[in-house]
Structure formats: structure tokens, C-alpha cells
Structure 1
Amino acid sequence: MTATDRFFCADAARIRGDSMAGTAPRGAVWVLVEYRGAWPSNGFDGLDLAPEVKDLVWSAAHAVRARILLIRRLARPRPDGPGRWAVLHYERSGAYRQRWGTWTRDEDLAEIADALQSPGQLDHPPVVLVCVHGQHDICCAVRGRPVARALSERWPNLVWECTHVGGDRFAANVVLLPDGVYYGRLDAVSAVGVVEEHLAGRVQADHLRGYTDLAPPQQVAVAALLQRFGPAARHAYTVTDTARDGDDWRIRVELHAPRPTAFDVRLHARRTAPYRLTCRGLAPHPTVGYDVTSIESV
């Protein structure tokens, strides 16, 4: 295979027109570990840490369904001093619950297990993660690094490069935490605009993959309302009811401002043809997509 005919999953997904809405993985708790060395393809699991420490952190994270991501600053050369770690909790209130610490020895990471049992503090700014995990998927590095550079120049204290966040074919992927909002198919220009709008309290639909506290059809319903009525704050919409009849869904969503309004968003689920979904994955797999069939005010 030559450089000209090499398969890139993000290019293929764009050509197919794969829908991004409803593709944010579920999650409400995240563990971030700053690691300045080379990232293994499997992230935290592949680090050469003391086995008892790794097992402790992994078990504590698994118990609360937390996701563990490696992070690093874009700055060159890499900063000296201890690395940082964080535990971030999503709250429907919009509060930024976080706890941060530092580590120089493997044993220091054991504090993460305790941090996972506490809600965290409210005085930390949001975190902007950009997936650049080339060892996992080359599209994440090729498309993610220019986005990380652009965002780091604009918000140097908020932005971190990170390991695999899911959805390689939608690179470049950016995650806003603890809000739990996934954006995809970004470039250096669009990423700055999307993040700027998000930090100003306006979630836009164009690059939105979804909210991690919602199931895929619920994510699609909220994205459809944002697409129809324009940007809104992260917690402007609340899913209040979900009903399913085979491949058909009815999602009731309430808008809280400027006046209370409820909408029924109806969706039809369909399985796509099998495709190669990642650069490394050779076997084709189908995905589930959702078509919005109607939006009704109730």
C-alpha cells in the first residue's frame, strides 16, 4: 500500500457522510493522568506502573464507571516537575466538580482511589481535551495535533492533549469536561469557534457528537433541537421521557428558557452497512444511525 492509497478512517467517514449525532460514549466520571512519556496504544493499561497501584486505580475507576485518560501539555520541551492527575465529576447542575493532585512516584497515584469517592471542589475551570493518540489511530494524531495547537494558543491553561476518547473516524475530537460534551470533525479554525461558543454557554449542533449523560437516541434528539432552534446552554434541554417501539423512538425534551416548552422528537433507528470504522481495524462493522422523523411541540 502506498501513501496515496492508505486507508484513513476519518476520510472514509466524511466521504460516507457518517452522522456524528449520538456517538458520545456514556460517562459521568473521568480520571486524568498526566504522562509525558510515549503513550502505549492502550493508554493507561499499557503503562509500566507498579502493578498494585495500577490495579488499585483501575478497580476504583471501574467501580464508578470512570474512564481513565492520559493527558499532557502541548508545550515543548515537556515541563519539569511532578505530573498532575485529576478526577472530574459531571453534575446536571453544571457545577465543575474536580479534584487535582500531583505525582512523582507510582505510589502517589493511589490517591486517585480516594478522590473517586469524593465529589470534588467547585473552584476549578473546565478542561478541554483533544485526542491526539496516534498509537491508537493515526487519524487522531494527524487531525488532532493542529487542533491541539490552535486551542492551546488560545486557552493554554485549559487545553490538554489526551489518549483515545472514542470515535476515531470523527477526528479531530474535542471533549469538554466535566460538562461531558463531545465535538468531532474539527479543524484548527472550527475548533476555536466551537470551544469559544461552548465556554460562553452556547452549544452548537454542527460539530456536536453528544452529551455523555444521555443515551444515543437522546443525544440525537437534543442535537436535532439545537440544529432547528439554534445554540443553547449545556443544560437548557432536559430529557424527561423516552419510549421505544421496535426501531422507533419518541424522546420528550424540555426547554427551560426563554419559556418552558416541551418537544417530542421521533426517531427511526437503522443499521448501516458494514464499514471499516478505524484505521487499525481491518474487519468491517455496522453501526446504528438515527433518522429524525418529526419534531412536535407538546
Structure 2
Amino acid sequence: MTPPERFLCADAARARGDSLTGTAPYGVVWVLIEYRGGWPANGFEGLGLQPGVKELLFTSAQAVRARMLLIRRYGRPRDEGPNRWAVLRHESSGAYRQQWGTWSRDEDLAEIAAALGGPGELGLPPVVLVCTHGRHDTCCAVRGRPVGRALSERWPELVWECTHVGGDRFAANVVVAPDGVYYGGLDAKSSVAVVEQHLAGRIHAEYLRGYTDLPPPHQVAVAAVLARFGPAGRHDYVVAGTFRVGTYWRIRVVGRLPGPTPFEADVEVRSHRTPPHQLTCNGPAMSPAVVHEVTSISFG
């Protein structure tokens, strides 16, 4: 008897034509903890840290809605010195702040709580995170590991593998932080091109899931402008106004591009739910997804 074919959520999403755009989860603060051992299926929550330290970190991160991720270098030996940690923050002004430290004992991680309330340092290069969390979802490892290797070979000091970032069906997923930009549907070749362009200040609509400081309809509106006019920097377009009635949105996107005349576009977006599908490899429950689609763009 032939065994049933294994379900892979990323393959199923591609077969259905699931849209990437507007699927970046909210987040402007990230806590990164290097952990070179096996990652539990639930990431940080599954680590056997001292209860007091773990509760302090969880409570401090929750207070600022920080996303907590375990990280490690691709293919590096496990005895290369102290583990690192970082707090990354994307401020509303567009400033990117980072604070880094090291830890050898659980107690050392308490410094993260203080860093969450500190100013952080400006001017550091971004961090490129590749989700390879196979215990959470098979596709994250199958599709993420080749991307992690390709990016690590190109930018060894910037790239880290990480635990679950959301959207398993869009693997391979890459997050640039503290920029707060999600990319999905990548492979080894496309990931290098995407990150290279991102680091050069040119964000393309292709493979873009969205900006993490924007709600999904706004993410879709900005992506539509990028798709129409070509790549731009992370803060070259901003959302200047929103009108909403039910599932209908009219979103004004203003350009910060050089030139005598300001750029303005009104993007109309409608939202709807898809039929239920299995959206992850390891979660057999059937769930609908919310999709935001651009219906028109007009220019001021």
C-alpha cells in the first residue's frame, strides 16, 4: 500500500495562489536570544531557563509587544564563545536602534529587561533573520535552510537563522530588522537578490509580505505603489490617511521621493475571507485566511 503523500503547507499555498501581500504581523521591537541547541517547537517558551529569569523576560517583552526569537548562525560550531542577545527597535520616527550583549548563564539574560527600556544604539547594520524552525513547521526547515546558507555565505555577520516568525505557508520567510520588513516565498537565488536590493535601499514589491508597523490593508496599499512605480526606500512612502467602511478601505499613500511635486496616491482595498484550508504543516485544523486586494489606484 502506498503511503499518503506528506502535506507541505508552502506547496499547498503556492498551488492555491495564496497572496503574500499584507501578511506581515505587527512588530516594532524584537528580542533575539542566541541558542545553539535544539529549538523547542514553541521557541522561547519551551526553553528550560530559570523560572524567575524567564518570567522577567516574558513580562518585559509583553509590555512593549516585543517578538521574542531564538537565533543561531548557520552551520557554526556550538563552542564559539558566549551566546549573544539583542534588543532591536523600530521607532515611529523611522530611527533604528539596537542593543547587544552576551550571556553564559541564565541570570545574564536579565539584562534584556533593562535593554527594553533603554535607548539603544543608532547606525548599526540591520539583522537578516531566516526562519528555519523545523520543529514548528516542516516547510520552514525544508525551504528556510537553503536560504539561510545562501545568505550566510554572502553576509555572514548580518544573517541569523531564527525561530517561528509567522506565515509558515510563505516559507522561506526572511525578516529584516529593525527595519521591520517581511519577505516570503524565497529560495536561495531570489533571497540573495532581495536582500542585496534591500541593503541598497531598494525594496521591491515582489516577495514583499509587508511592513510590520502597518496594518495589513496599509501594507497592501504601499506594496501596490511599489509594484506600480518600482522599488523605493523603506520610508520613501508613508500612509497619510485612511477611510474605512466595513471591508472597504481607501488609503492615501504619500511619497517622500525627491522632486518639486509631492506624490500622492489613493489606493482602494477590499478585504475578504478565503474558504478554510490547512495553513500549516503541523496544524491539521482548517482555517480561513483574510485577504486584502487592491481594486483601484488613483493619483493626486
TM-score calculated relative to the size of structure 2: 0.97
CA displacement 1:55-74 (0-9 Å, x = unmatched): 00000000000010000001
Confirm or deny: 8 A CA contact 1:274 1:287 kept in the other structure. yes
CA displacement 1:170-202 (0-9 Å, x = unmatched): 000000000000000000000000000000000
Structure 1 stretch 149-158 or stretch 287-296: which is displaced more? 287-296
Match of 2:295 among 288, 293, 296: 293
Q: Does 1:160 align with 2:182?
A: no
Cα deviation, residue 93, structure 1: 4.2
Cα deviation, residue 290, structure 1: 1.4
- Alignment match, 2:228: 228
Q: What amino acid does structure 2 have at the position aligned with 1:45?
A: E
Where does 1:231-246 land on structure 2 (aligned, <5 Å)?
231-246=231-246
CA displacement 1:22-54 (0-9 Å, x = unmatched): 000001000000000000000000000000000
Cα deviation, residue 111, structure 1: 0.3
Distance 2:93 2:195 in 1: 20
Q: Does 1:111 align with 2:111?
A: yes
Confirm or deny: 8 A CA contact 1:130 1:160 kept in the other structure. yes
Distance 1:193 1:134 in 2: 24
Cα deviation, residue 4, structure 1: 6.6
CA displacement 1:100-159 (0-9 Å, x = unmatched): 000000000000000000120014211000000000000000000000000000000000
Q: What amino acid does structure 2 have at the position aligned with 1:116?
A: L
> Which ranges of structure 2 fall in alignment gaps of 5 or more residues?
none
Match of 1:263 among 262, 265, 272: 265
Q: What amino acid does structure 1 have at the position aligned with 2:42?
A: N
- Alignment match, 1:208: 208
Q: What amino acid does structure 1 have at the position aligned with 2:227?
A: Q
Q: CA RMSD in A?
A: 1.2
Match of 1:277 among 276, 279, 283: 279
TM-score calculated relative to the size of structure 1: 0.98
Distance 1:256 1:208 in 2: 20
Distance 1:112 1:78 in 2: 22
Q: Does 1:129 align with 2:129?
A: yes
Distance 2:27 2:122 in 1: 19
Cα deviation, residue 96, structure 1: 2.7
- Distance change (3 Å), C-alpha of 1:92 and 1:196: farther
> Which ranges of structure 1 fall in alignment gaps of 5 or more residues?
none
Structure 1 stretch 69-78 or stretch 245-254: which is displaced more? 69-78
Distance 2:11 2:115 in 1: 40
Distance 2:46 2:279 in 1: 23
Confirm or deny: 8 A CA contact 1:29 1:66 kept in the other structure. yes
Cα deviation, residue 270, structure 1: 1.1
Confirm or deny: 8 A CA contact 1:92 1:235 kept in the other structure. no
Q: Does 1:40 align with 2:40?
A: yes
Q: In structure 1, the residue corresponding to 2:143 is in which secondary structure?
A: helix
Distance 1:161 1:182 in 2: 14
Q: What amino acid does structure 2 have at the position aligned with 1:85?
A: W
Distance 1:165 1:197 in 2: 22
Q: What amino acid does structure 1 have at the position aligned with 2:118?
A: S
